[in-house]
Amino acid sequence: MKIIKAKDYKDMSRKAANIISAQVIMKPNAVLGLATGSTPIGIYEQLIDWYNKGDIDFEEVTTINLDEYRGLDKNHDQSYWYFMHKNFFDKVNIKEENINVPDGSNLDAKQACSEYEEIIHAAGGIDLQLLGIGNDGHIGFNEPGAAFELLTHCVDLTDSTIEANKRFFESKDDVPKQAYTMGIKSIMQARKVLMVANGIGKADIVKQAFFGPVTPEVPASILQMHPDFTLVGDEEALSKIDL
Ligand code: GLP
C-alpha cells in the first residue's frame, strides 16, 4: 500500500490524474476502471485539460465503470452513464464502443451482472481501477457486510448511502434503492488500484479502512491486501493517520 499526501483537492486530483496519465502513456490501449461520485471530478477535469493540450490520447482506451443504479435509463440525468459522459467522455476522444457502464435499464439483475463480468473478461481485465470511498467504507456500491468473493452483483443500498446521495435527486424517495456494482473480487482483480479521498469528512473512514482490521464491515479495508494499491488523499482526509 502506498499513500501519497496531497495539499488540497486540486493537488490530489492532479497527482491521481498523473498516475492515470502514466498508465495510458505506457499502454495506449489500457483498460481503465472508472468511478463516479464528487471526488473524481477534479481528476476528469485535469485529464480533459491535458487531452486538450495534446498530452494524452484516449483513442485506444477502454473504460469499465464500477457501478450503476438499477432501474435508471442511461439518459436519466442521475445515471452514472450520464454522469460519466457529462464530466469526461463527451470531452475526450474515447470511442463510444469502448465505454462500458452496467446496464441499469436491464431489470434482469442476473443477466445484467453476468454480462458485465463477461465484458471485463473480454477486455482482458482492468489495468487500473480508480475508486472513491463512501462514508461507511463502501467501494463502488459494495456496502458494509458485502462478501469479499463477490463479482458484479445487484445490491440494496444502505440508508446511509441513500442519504448521502439524495443531494443529487429531487428528494430522498427519488434515489434508487438498488444498484449493480462490480464486486470486491472484480475490483481486487484489477492490476492496479488507485483511490482518491479528500476532505475532513473522509478522515475517520480512511483511518479505519487502512489502519484498522481487514473486515467486510469496512469494504475498502480489503485493499490493504492488494499488491498494487495507491491512496492519494488530501491533508484533511489523511489527518487522522500517522504517516
Ligand atoms: C457513491 C459511489 C462511489 C463513491 C461514493 C463516494 O456511492 N457509488 O463509487 O466512491 O459515492 O462519493 P463522493 O466521492 O461524492 O464522496
Q: What is the pLDDT of residue 178?
A: 97
From the CA of 40, give the closest atom in ligand 1. 14
Q: What is the pLDDT of residue 164?
A: 87
Indicate the average pLDDT of the chain: 97
Confidence label for 165 from pLDDT (cuts 50, 70 and 90): confident
Rounded distance from Cα 37 to ligand 1 centre (Å):
4
Q: Does the predicted model carry a pTM greater than 0.85?
A: yes
Output the CATH code of domain 2-234.
3.40.50.1360
Q: What is the pLDDT of residue 243?
A: 84
Asked if the model's pLDDT at residue 87 lies above 90, the reply is: yes
Spell out the domain ranges in the chain: 2-234
The strand pair at 62-65 and 31-34 is best described as parallel
From the CA of 161, give the closest atom in ligand 1. 7
Q: Which of 85, 138, 153, 226 is catalytic?
A: 138
The strand pair at 192-197 and 178-181 is best described as unpaired
Residue minimizing CA distance to atom 11 of ligand 1? 37
Number of neighbouring beta carbons within 10 Å of residue 193: 23
Number of neighbouring beta carbons within 10 Å of residue 43: 27
Q: Is 132 in the pocket of ligand 1 (CB under 6 A)?
A: yes
Q: What is the pLDDT of residue 202?
A: 98
Asked if the model's pLDDT at residue 106 lies above 90, the reply is: yes
Asked if the model's pLDDT at residue 96 lies above 90, the reply is: yes
Q: What is the pLDDT of residue 47?
A: 98
Number of neighbouring beta carbons within 10 Å of residue 26: 9
In the numeric block, the cell 450503476 is attached to: 68
Per the annotation, the verdict on 143 as an active-site residue is yes
The residues that bridge with 196 in the sheet, in sequence order, are: 232
From the CA of 80, give the closest atom in ligand 1. 8
